[in-house]
Amino acid sequence: MKTTLTLIILLTSISFCKAQYAKELDDKNGFNIFVLGEDISEVKKLAKLKSHGSDPENKSIAYYEVKNIKDFKIFEYPLKSIELYFYDAKLYCISISPSFVYGSEQNELIHQDILSRVQKQYGGFQEKELTSQDKLYGRTAKYELYGKKVLLRFLGGVTNYAFYDIQIRNKIISEEKSGL
């Protein structure tokens, strides 16, 4: 009986901790100064953006790169890029790539530090199976963490973190499946 009670308390604690982390991910709702769901006109007031046009398969999706990249970091580490994706002028994806400028061994230590700190802040990732498309793009791992509003995805091999607005992302996926 005592063992069963201890197990129930442990499982409840784990569930509560995961819910706390997901809540923090939802509360932050983005990366740095970029807030998911924000209108492109507001984002343009915050950062210098370079347009890369719209998605040829979905004209409602526009892609921008942050030009003043030196103004942003992930923890104390510089970034190689921040890419912003908009759907109907609303920010739905923030993709960040750390800048690894050292030797491969030191870069790996930096990568592990970033990953560890992200997990401490938001919780543990769930490993996802790589698709053939993932492998084609050189991805070596895929991990995801879901909140109620935000999805955080880490892609290994390309070392990229992406924050998604789940509601907008699901709308895009639904439209793609329906052929709209």
Q: Domain spans of the chain?
A: 2-178
Give pLDDT, residue 124.
83
pLDDT tens, per residue, the chain with 180 residues: 443 333 333 333 333 344 445 688 899 999 999 999 999 999 999 899 998 888 888 889 999 999 999 999 999 999 999 999 999 999 999 999 998 766 778 888 888 898 899 888 888 888 899 889 888 888 888 889 999 999 999 888 777 899 999 999 999 988 888 765
What pTM does this model have?
0.82
Give pLDDT, residue 180.
57
Amino acid at 111: H
